[in-house]
């Protein structure tokens, strides 16, 4: 068995109005950062996981994301599995 670190990035799905992102975007524009747009705010979750290999680790994390870590109705997630140092 190996220990891995799972890095999970969660964002609101495209098409769902991100009101926090909008508020930050307005603040940026009021600071004259007109070059910045489409602000989306998300969450980052990190956890250690023991599994036979990285593929199995990813499967477990994906399962946990669908059940609790993310809300698939409104959120997308991206999982990165890295070898723990």
* Residue ranges that bind another protein, judged by CB under 8 A: 16-17, 19-20, 23, 68-69, 71, 73-74
Q: Measured from the CB atom, is 21 or 54 closer to another protein?
A: 21
Q: How far is the CB of 52 from another protein (least distance, A)?
A: 26
Q: How far is the CB of 10 from another protein (least distance, A)?
A: 10
Query: Is the sign of the CA dihedral 48, 51, 54, 55 positive or negative?
Result: negative
Which residues have C-beta within 8 Å of that of residue 44, sequence separation ≥ 6? 7, 8, 9, 10
Q: How far is CA 53 from the centre of its chain?
A: 22
Q: Measured from the CB atom, is 19 or 36 closer to another protein?
A: 19
What is the helix (H) or strand (E) element at residue 78, kind and residue range? strand 75-83
Q: Measured from the CB atom, is 3 or 66 closer to another protein?
A: 66
Q: How far is the CB of 38 from another protein (least distance, A)?
A: 18
Instruction: Decide: 60 and 1 in contact? Cβ < 8 Å.
Output: no
């Amino acid at each position: 068995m190996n220990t891995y670190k799972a890095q999970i990035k969660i964002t609101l799905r495209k098409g769902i109005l991100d009101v926090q992102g909008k508020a930050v975007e307005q603040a940026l524009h009021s600071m004259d950062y007109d070059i910045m747009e489409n602000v989306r705010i998300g969450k980052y979750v990190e956890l250690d996981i023991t599994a036979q290999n990285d593929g199995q680790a990813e499967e477990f994390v994906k399962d946990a994301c669908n059940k609790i870590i993310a809300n698939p109705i409104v959120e997308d997630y991206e999982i990165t599995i890295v070898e723990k140092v």
